[in-house]
Amino acid sequence: MSEQRFKAISESQKRHPIAIKEEGRRSDLFAKNVFNEEKMIQHLTKDALESVKGAIFSGSKIDRKIADQVAEAMKAWAISIGATHYTHWFQPLTGSTAEKHDAFFDLLPNGRALEKFGGGQLVQQEPDASSFPSGGIRNTFEARGYTAWDPTSPAFVYDTTLCIPTVFVSYTGEALDNKAPLLRALHSVDEAATAVAKYFDKNVSKVNATLGWEQEYFLIDKALAYSRPDIIMTGRTLIGGAAAKGQQLDDHYFGVIPQRAISFMKELEKECTKLGIPVKTRHNEVAPNQFELAPVFEEANLAVDHNLLLMDVMEKIADKHHFKVLFHEKPFEGINGSGKHNNWSLQTDTGVNLLSPGSTPMKNLQFLTFFINTIKAVDTYEELLRSSIASASNDHRLGANEAPPAILSIFIGKQLSHVLDELEGVSQGKLSPEEKTELKLNVVGKIPEILLDNTDRNRTSPFAFTGNKFEMRGVGSKTNCAKPMTILNTIVAKQLRSFKKEVDTLIDTKNLKKDEAVFNILREYIKTSKRIRFDGDGYSDTWQKEAKRRKLSNNKNTPKALQVLTAKKSLDLFKTMKVMSETEVRARQEVELEAYILHIQIEGRIYNELVYGHILPTTIAYQNKLIKNVTGLKEIYGAAHRTLSGGQLAIIEQIAEHIDALKKTTDAMTEARKKANKLGDTHKKAMAYCENILPYFTEIRMHCDKLERLVDNQLWPLTKYRELLFIK
């Protein structure tokens, strides 16, 4: 065993669970470090409180005097619980979060010091925008960018810093982040859904999109992780033969959580609770060392912020417990990767889930309206929705018999399919009294029977209805949920707006009553969106052929998936719904393509380092030992050595073949990378990396993994799967 690997394994065996002191009930700790409504009631004047609540509920602006009051109260509260600094916490187009800390500290002209934080610092800051991805919106020398307070997501104290969630925009006003487009999309779906919901309840004045994410992740011993350059630099193992025992016995899934992992989870949950992240569920996932946690559903913007905060907290807590947490969608070959299912619904301010079947025909007509419109929206923009989950890392996972395929389809279950088929079969035009009775009693009236457990789950479906919500299963584990949530809420908003226009037209021109107009439009939507509904095996070859016949997109890699962003249909959508300008959309496409290129470029460089710095030297050294052994046998036994050393000679030959092929393939990959780097067009460059460089990775890995099985275990330089994947 190599010295580095021996030290890493020895270090990992010293790990002991960290005892976590219990601090009472979780409910007592909840949001302890959050400047939420409860804290605002305690610290703000009535006018300031009403102003902030108005900004949260209706998007009204907060004037400067009120902002000063809020800032002073926020500062006093934060300092009282140990804060020394503040930061505008934002989401640049890197996929993660960013922050610049400033102290609550200033000097007066007389040299005296004081804690200072005013409305100006709360409402707006000016971080350097030049070094963040902008997709061409900003030149490198144009550094000015602005962060602006998002009052809909409460400030919180993390460690000793007051964190203020903000949007990030350029000097010229374009969004440079993931939060600003999400907020616009949520505003758009609020307006559109509220207008439609008023058909059924005039008291509805606001509709919130809700999100419940399910975060999957791997825990790896920190010492072992740091013995692997590929894990540290790319988040995944670029080489490594499968362990004899992986996930084939299904014994890890929902099994007893290892003691080290449960100690980590306890501290994580305590910190999350203080930060107002309502984590509720924890369990072992399918693969060894793989786990999942999930929260209570929240308003979508807040849920996105909480997921990003959670990932940061997880990394810090994991480090304390001598773990490395992996969010890569496919960190290990041959076992399941990780996703982040996004469970989405719409909730009115009157407390009604618009995607939950009701107890009366009228409530079920409301349910059908939002249910069918969502299906129609996904059918119309399925390719755009697919683009929202595209990344170099998620490409490894989608369609790998553990995650949904790259084809977008919707699973709704047999019973709801039957309901839609019955509704589709009703005659067009004005409904007869018999048809009205049939619809209300035999179709709409039956829907209360469709309970949460009355529809089966379909793990191969990318977009599944699961009783009172839609579950978007293709989202990658390290993806910022803001991206798919921006697209989903935008397309649903657009569809609901179109639906209301069509219904109102029927009412005005055909003299139909509201219910009849709604039924007529829904019936047409059922017919025209039928191709997107699929209840079968999404992994099957049959579905691939059937999807092609239905003219559904099947963009299996990121460069192809991202092309749709700048199609006229997409640009018109974003412009019409005021979610993103054409400049902002094109910038995001450029950023995503560049990120794809850079991720594969980094992996290619790591392959070079592994092959030339680890694999070839170790393999050649072992080959020399075998050759020396054969030479010794020849000196002792003469010609008879061929019989005695047949096994050694065969291994020497196999090693030689793999060494030769490995060197040639690695060199060819390097040359292909150099050639691709000369391309000026970003999309062509991304396609070159996808088609001309990625295939070499598979071949390089194959030769390395074969050599791992041939070379003496004591000499192999990299920690193996069997050592990485089982927490003690």
What pLDDT, in 10s, does the model give residues 554-593?
999 999 999 999 999 999 999 999 999 999 999 999 999 9
Q: Which three-class secondary structure state does DSSP give residue 137?
A: coil
The pLDDT value recorded for residue 109 is: 80
d(CA 161, CA 148): 18
Q: What is the pLDDT of residues 317-346, one digit of tens each?
A: 999 999 999 999 999 999 999 999 999 999
Instruction: Work out the pLDDT band at 449, boundaries 50, 70, 90.
Output: low
| Encoded tokens for 28 | 């007592």
d(CA 463, CA 450): 18
Tell which wins on pLDDT, 480 or 172: 480
The pLDDT value recorded for residue 72 is: 93
Which whole number is the average pLDDT over 74-88?
A: 96
Helices 694-710 and 616-637 pack at an angle, to 10 degrees, of 40
Is the per-residue pLDDT at 455 higher than 60?
A: no
The pLDDT value recorded for residue 429 is: 67
Is the per-residue pLDDT at 96 higher than 60?
A: yes
For the chain, give the mean pLDDT. Answer: 91
The pLDDT value recorded for residue 4 is: 73
The pLDDT value recorded for residue 24 is: 65
- H/E stretch holding 145: strand 145-149
The pLDDT value recorded for residue 227 is: 95
Which whole number is the average pLDDT over 611-615?
A: 97
| Encoded tokens for 120 | 């100006």
Tell which wins on pLDDT, 140 or 342: 342
CB atoms inside a 10 Å sphere around CB 566: 15
- H/E stretch holding 184: helix 179-197
The pLDDT value recorded for residue 129 is: 67
d(CA 646, CA 641): 8
Is the per-residue pLDDT at 115 higher than 90?
A: no
The pLDDT value recorded for residue 134 is: 82
Is the per-residue pLDDT at 517 higher than 60?
A: yes
d(CA 518, CA 495): 14
The pLDDT value recorded for residue 299 is: 97
DSSP 409: -
Question: Do 330 and 236 meet the contact criterion of CB atoms below 8 Å apart?
Answer: yes
Per-residue 3-state assignment (H helix, E strand, C coil) for 263-282: HHHHHHHHHHHHCCCCEEEE
Give the amino acid at 337.
G
The pLDDT value recorded for residue 428 is: 65
d(CA 4, CA 617): 15
Instruction: Work out the pLDDT band at 649, boundaries 50, 70, 90.
Output: confident
Question: Do 579 and 185 meet the contact criterion of CB atoms below 8 Å apart?
Answer: yes
Is the per-residue pLDDT at 648 higher than 90?
A: no
Is the per-residue pLDDT at 20 higher than 60?
A: no
Q: Which residues contact 84 (CB under 8 A, 6 or more apart)?
A: 103, 104, 160, 161
Which whole number is the average pLDDT over 58-79?
A: 89
Instruction: Work out the pLDDT band at 658, boundaries 50, 70, 90.
Output: very high
Contacts for 568-573 with beta carbons within 8 Å, 24 or more apart? 569/381, 569/384, 570/381, 570/384, 573/381, 573/384, 573/490, 573/491, 573/494
Highest averaged pLDDT of the listed ranges 10-19, 605-614, 647-656: 605-614
| Encoded tokens for 457 | 């789950």
Alpha helices in 360-413 (DSSP H): 361-380, 382-387
The pLDDT value recorded for residue 375 is: 98
Question: Do 33 and 81 meet the contact criterion of CB atoms below 8 Å apart?
Answer: yes
Tell which wins on pLDDT, 682 or 414: 682
- H/E stretch holding 703: helix 694-710
CA angle in degrees (0–180, nearest 5) for 169-173-178: 35
| Encoded tokens for 657 | 């073949």
CA atoms within 13 A on the CB side of 701: 19
| Encoded tokens for 61 | 């602006």
Per-residue 3-state assignment (H helix, E strand, C coil) for 193-227: HHHHHCCCCCCCCCEEEEEEEEEEEEEEEHHHHCC
Tell which wins on pLDDT, 22 or 35: 35
Beta pairing partners, 470: 344, 465
The pLDDT value recorded for residue 698 is: 97
What's the burial of 665, exposed, middle or buried (CB within 10 Å: 0-12/13-18/19+)?
buried
The pLDDT value recorded for residue 9 is: 67
Is the per-residue pLDDT at 18 higher than 90?
A: no
Q: Which residues contact 500 (CB under 8 A, 6 or more apart)?
A: 192, 195, 196
Nearest to residue 223, comparing CAs of 727, 566, 593? 727
Tell me what percent of the residues of the chain surpass a pLDDT of 70: 91
5: left (phi over 0), alpha (psi -120 to 50) or beta: alpha
Which whole number is the average pLDDT over 151-170?
A: 95
Question: Do 727 and 258 meet the contact criterion of CB atoms below 8 Å apart?
Answer: yes
Helices 482-509 and 514-528 pack at an angle, to 10 degrees, of 130
Instruction: Work out the pLDDT band at 462, boundaries 50, 70, 90.
Output: very high
Q: What is the pTM of this model?
A: 0.94
The pLDDT value recorded for residue 322 is: 96
What's the burial of 80, exposed, middle or buried (CB within 10 Å: 0-12/13-18/19+)?
exposed
Between β-strands 85-89 and 161-170, what pairing exists: parallel, antiparallel or unpaired?
Answer: parallel
Exposure string of 668-702, with b = 16+ CB inside 10 Å and e = fewer, is ebbebbeebeeeeebbebbbbbbebbbebbebbbe
Question: Do 16 and 112 meet the contact criterion of CB atoms below 8 Å apart?
Answer: no
The pLDDT value recorded for residue 435 is: 65
DSSP 469: S
Is the per-residue pLDDT at 434 higher than 70?
A: no
d(CA 122, CA 472): 35
